[in-house]
Amino acid sequence: MEADNRQFDGKLFLKDVNRKLNDRLAEIQKDLNQGLKEIENMHEYYWENYTEMDQYGYEDYDNQQALLQQVNANRDKSKLMKRLEKMIDSPFFGRVDFLFEAEEEEEPFYIGIGNFGERAGMTPLIYDWRAPVSSLFYDFDKGEAFYEAPSGVIKGEVVSKWQYKIRGGKMIYGFESDVKIDDEILKHELGNNGDVKLKNIVRTIQKEQNAIIRNTKDKILVIQGAAGSGKTSIALHRIAYLLYHDRKNLKSSNILILSPNSVFADYISHILPELGEENIKEMSFDLFAYKELQDTAADCEDRYDQLERMMKFDDRRAQERFEWKQSAGFVGEAEGFFAVLEDELMEFREVEFRGMRFSEEEIIHLFYDKFYQIPLLKRMDAVMEYFIDSYETLKGRNIEEEDREFLQRKFDKMYVTKDIYAIYNKLLAVCGQEQMAELPYERRKIQYEDVFPMLYVKYRLTGKNEHKNIKHLVIDEMQDYSYLQYLILKELFDCKMTILGDRAQTLGKEQQDVLKFLPKVFGKNIRTVILNKSYRNTREIADYAGKIANVKDIEFLDRHGKDVAERKFKTDEEMFEAVRANLKLEKEEKTDHTDDVVNEEVYETAAVIAMTEEEASDIYRLLENRGISAFYVDRDTSVFHKGLTVTTYYLAKGLEFDQVFVVKSKKENPFEKQALYISATRALHELYVYEE
């Protein structure tokens, strides 16, 4: 009876809070309208009176300041209005009845996507999921409990805990839960049809996930998680929590995500706005490297170019070269090279300018002694500036820009070369490696195996621009970054980091466990969390994928579905007809030769996943010719659509689909095992593995 009363309390509270939300929205709308009227009046006043405003502009300045204040106030009210409009759909999703220590009556705390109180400064009716008290909902069952408040640890007892689903402002269900987050809720929320975007998980955050999200102490937090463990969602929710927790020092503009590609960036772009935060910057590290090397070469390959070439030729020596150039061994060889480069690269001579003279010995002294800490290719600039300062002091006048350019050329000639491309080639020769072709700038295209080694050489010889504005870096797909890339990232970003990935999804022949070398790069002060429970795939799909990659010790949500369908076809026509027959994006009459099941569901998303770019492009064209509508995703795609997607396995990483049709290569693929595992783990409900 008591539980029934509490459920009734939840319905009454929803009715009351909906009324108060609507009242507050009406007030804000009224204030906004008034604010717009004020802005209109200020504009009218200005244009009617600007010719008569005082000569010093004080009145004009005051008018502009008042206008700016009103515009900012309207902007803040608009943001609040949008947040409250979202809350009307689902004001809260949980409740904890907490009995404070030494109190006699428990207090209910309703938990939602954001705080809501009738007035600013009043006790919230609904608490933000990131508020300290909300951790009770995620971390404790009934019984003794505590949470960390700004004033200290608050102890007490969880008397009851409730979970709700509200849509359109109406309660769909509400029940008391004796476990963290009921498994049936998890199955429903995480195992339903694939959305066009990544799901936010505030309603289903698990205790171990909550510990990661609320971690504010560790500078480097590494999340090693199985496919479907929610690691990307957790990382984004962690960012939302950190922004909430440290408003004074951390803003959205202080955070950067290194994402694998643009379509994945679009797939996750809605999460932070849904959680009440502004979106944050994202970039591909490959694209960043390309921009940094634009003054060295006209073009650079990316990782996908390298993968495609390896799948096409399976060149063992090329793979060995690639691995060595990303390793600690290469870094050691490069440092030895830099030690002798100072002498080999320099041809010192005296400099004379309008009666001012520096001898060769003086320049050598400045170069090797006074400015020895400056990077090699920037050091002569410091010598030149010293020369110019001496001249201007002696002559009592400044050097003109034209003369400065003349001196710049004179000092630059003391380098045998300043071309990073040529210097890197010398390093390759010293290391006994095949050199790149000697080409003019406009014909240079740097192969991917050389991109980051050359960037490392550039930074060591010219210095790097530290991104001090970035206070938190998120690195996704950590297993696809090399030792050398992490070394570069450490130099560029001296900030807190969240690093996440899954070694089983390495793009390459073998799995890479970066946990073996990350402590060598960042030091031992790294916090590592292992997430070994997967929520995405059905047991049938998970078991199939696990056998491919020999993945063990993974827990799965006990959600069952259709068996994985493996088929070989004699012709392309048969295979594409099977795709058409089994595609469940819309209800249609099936042909006789289908793999479909009875009472099948209509899905939102599906994918045909090929091994190579060429195969994906051919499949897309052939599907379209047969009247099967699809979206083709390549490395330049920036939007993720619902419906049928055709893409490669490496661009599908991080995405999920209701149905997945994997098309194996006709020829041998050296990355087939990894590609099949990545492709299989994209499927929520149904997996088809086709081979011609």
pLDDT digits (tens, 9 = 90+) for 485-518: 999 999 999 999 999 999 999 998 889 999 999 9
Judge contact between 264 and 479, C-beta under 8 A: no
Shared-domain flag, residues 10 and 148: yes
* Residue at which a domain ends, from 530, 560, 576: 530
Q: Is 227 annotated as a binding residue?
A: yes
Within 262-327, where are the H helices? Answer: 262-268, 271-274, 285-292, 303-313, 316-325
Candidates 98, 102, 176, 109; CA nearest to 144 is 98
Site of tokens 């000092």: 411
* Same-domain pairing of 454 and 502: yes
Q: Is residue 636 part of a domain?
A: yes
Domain-terminating residue out of 123, 158, 174: 174
The pLDDT assigned to 588 comes to: 46
Higher per-residue confidence, 60 vs 21: 21
Please check whether residues 486 and 578 belong to one and the same domain. Answer: no
Predicted confidence band at 553 (pLDDT cuts at 50, 70, 90)? confident
Q: Is residue 536 part of a domain?
A: no
What CATH number corresponds to the domain at position 658? 3.40.50.300
Do 399 and 485 lie in one domain? The reply is no
Q: What is the pLDDT of residue 58?
A: 65
Question: Do 406 and 423 have their domain in common?
Answer: no
Residue 158: strand, helix, or coil: strand
Structure tokens at 555: 């827990």
What is the rounded distance in angstroms from the CA atom of residue 371 to the CA atom of residue 380?
A: 9
Q: For all residues of the chain together, what is the average pLDDT?
A: 90
Q: Which two tokens stand for residue 482?
A: 């090399």
* Structural element, H or E, at residue 425: helix 420-430
Q: Is 355 annotated as a binding residue?
A: no
| CA atoms of 228 and 147, how far apart (whole Å) | 29
User: Which amino acid is residue 100, in one-letter code?
Assistant: F
Check pLDDT > 90 for residue 594: no
Note down the domain range covering 141: 2-174
Residue 653 counted as domain residue: yes
Q: Is residue 190 part of a domain?
A: no
Rounded to the nearest 10 degrees, how much is the dihedral formed by the CA atoms of 444, 450, 452, 458?
A: -60
The pairing of beta strand 107-112 with beta strand 94-100: antiparallel
In a domain, 199, yes or no: no
SS3 60: helix
For residues 592-613, give the mean pLDDT.
75
Same structural domain, 385 and 494: no
- Categorize the per-residue pLDDT at 43 as very low, low, confident or very high, splitting at 50, 70 and 90: confident
pLDDT at res. 190? 52
pLDDT higher than 70, residue 688: yes
Structure-model confidence comparison of residues 304 and 75, the more confident one: 304
Q: Which residue has the tokens 């005051």?
A: 62
Residue 287 lies in a domain: yes
Q: Which of 390, 411, 432 is the last residue of a domain?
A: 411
Mark whether 406 and 434 lie in a shared domain: no
Residue 100 has pLDDT above 50, yes or no: yes
Q: Which pLDDT band holds residue 182 (cuts at 50, 70, 90)?
A: low
The residue among 69 and 450 whose pLDDT is bigger is 450
Mean pLDDT of 435-442: 96
d(CA 451, CA 431): 17
Is residue 142 assigned to a domain?
A: yes
In a domain, 574, yes or no: yes
**DSSP string for residues in 328-360:** HHHHHHHHHHHHHHHHHTB----EEETTEEE-H
pLDDT digits (tens, 9 = 90+) for 109-140: 999 999 999 887 889 999 999 999 999 999 99
| % of the chain surpassing 70 pLDDT | 92
Supply the pLDDT for residue 591. 46
Is residue 231 a known part of a binding site? yes
Instruction: Examine the domain organization and report whether 370 and 328 are in the same domain.
Output: no
Residue 48 has what pLDDT? 73
pLDDT band per the 50, 70, 90 thresholds, residue 645: very high
* Residue 630 is assigned to a ligand binding site: no
Q: Are residues 139 and 229 in the same domain?
A: no
168 is in an annotated binding site: no
At residue 597 the predicted structure's pLDDT band, cuts being 50, 70 and 90, is: very low
Q: Which residue, 119, 87, 102, is CA-closest to 14?
A: 87
Average pLDDT (54-66) is 67
Reported as a single tens digit per residue, the pLDDT across 266-307 is 888 888 888 878 889 999 999 999 999 999 999 999 999 999
Does the pLDDT at position 596 exceed 50? no
Q: Give bridge partners of residue 157 from the DSSP assignment.
A: 99, 144
Q: How many CB atoms lie within 10 A of CB 668?
A: 8
Could you tell me if 381 and 298 lie in one domain?
Answer: no
Between 44 and 46, the higher pLDDT residue: 44
Summarize pLDDT for 383-429 with one digit per residue, the tens.
999 999 999 999 899 999 999 999 999 999 999 999 999 999 999 99
Residue 437 annotated as binding site: no
Residue 654 and residue 511 in one domain: no
CA distance 630 to 644: 5
Both tokens of residue 109?
């705390």
Where does the pLDDT of residue 63 fall: very low under 50, low under 70, confident under 90, or very high at 90 and above? confident
Q: How does DSSP classify residue 168?
A: T
225 in a known ligand binding site:
yes
Find which of 73-82, 465-474, 636-645, 681-690 is predicted with most confidence, using mean pLDDT.
681-690
Give bridge partners of residue 472 from the DSSP assignment: 255, 496
Name the domain count of the chain.
4
Residues 372 and 512 in one domain: no
Is 627 marked as a binding-site residue? no
